[in-house]
Structure 1
Amino acid sequence: MSTDLTRRHCQPLEGHPAMTAAEITQHLALVEGWQLAGGFIEKRYTFPDFHRTIGFVNALAWIANAEDHHPELALSYGHCTVRFNTHSVNGISINDFICAAKVDALLKTGA
């Protein structure tokens, strides 16, 4: 089902409400390994070295720019934690799950 999310694109959501707790739970089931943490959805990715970590971050940056939806990142040698929320709705939105699915797809396609 996350494949369906990868086919969608982020939309402006000003004036729309944030997802409810039930909607967030439902959507978390569509993106493996993502969890709710402090008003964000987040996932930690691990890599064998810094070079691959930065390659992942660069590919993720391309997605974020294309979707105009930008995560918070925490990275170090061999890992990167990605956190999404939607400032315009003051919470979690479908845009966060669209981007989460697209970031996951990076590793499934070998990008």
Structure 2
Amino acid sequence: MSLRDMHCSFSPAALSAQDIASLLAELDGWTVNGELLERRFALRDYHETIAFVNALAWMTHQQDHHPELAVTYNSCTVSYSTHSAGGKLTNNDFICAAKADALYAQRAGA
């Protein structure tokens, strides 16, 4: 089953460095920055950026796993870690990252 087809779980365990490297290889454009899984999404303009943020907000609410967002006129940087795992990376972070990628690929005019 692909990451984007999975659902977040309650109380996930922190991942090992080996698990993080393996899951990171399944994602495009994501990096690990300290203890954050991050990606900057480039968008055409403010309207497209806010539409993406709104779609992302809906998805993350459904998964009950919310990222940190840095929103500018034509980009959105998404940062994941899992608070319930002490700020470490878990499967939930990678699941939501894959779902964010799917939303980005589906945006109008992509």
Q: What TM bracket, shorter-length normalisation?
A: over 0.9
Shift of 1:82: 0.0
Q: Which of the numbers 5, 9, 30 marks the counterpart of 2:3?
A: 5
Q: Which residue of 1 aligns with 2:47?
A: 51
Structure 2 residue 17 is the aligned partner of structure 1 residue 17: no
Question: Secondary structure of the equivalent of 1:41?
Answer: strand
The alignment covers a number of residue pairs equal to 107
Residues 45-101 of structure 1 show CA distances to partners (whole Å, capped at 9, x for unaligned) of 011100100000000000110000000000111010000011111200000000000
Structure 2 residue 43 is the aligned partner of structure 1 residue 72: no
Structure 2: which 5+ runs fail to align? none
Q: Percent identity among equivalent residues? A: 47
Q: Which residue of 2 aligns with 1:93?
A: 90
Question: Secondary structure of the equivalent of 1:30?
Answer: coil
Q: Provide the TM-score with structure 1 as the length reference.
A: 0.91
Runs of 4+ in 1 over 4 A off after TM superposition: none
Structure 1: which 5+ runs fail to align? none
Q: Which residue of 2 aligns with 1:105?
A: 102
- Distance (whole Å) between structure 2 residues aligned to residue 37 and residue 108 of structure 1: 23
Q: Provide the TM-score with structure 2 as the length reference.
A: 0.92
- Distance (whole Å) between structure 2 residues aligned to residue 10 and residue 25 of structure 1: 19
CA RMSD of aligned residues (A): 1.3
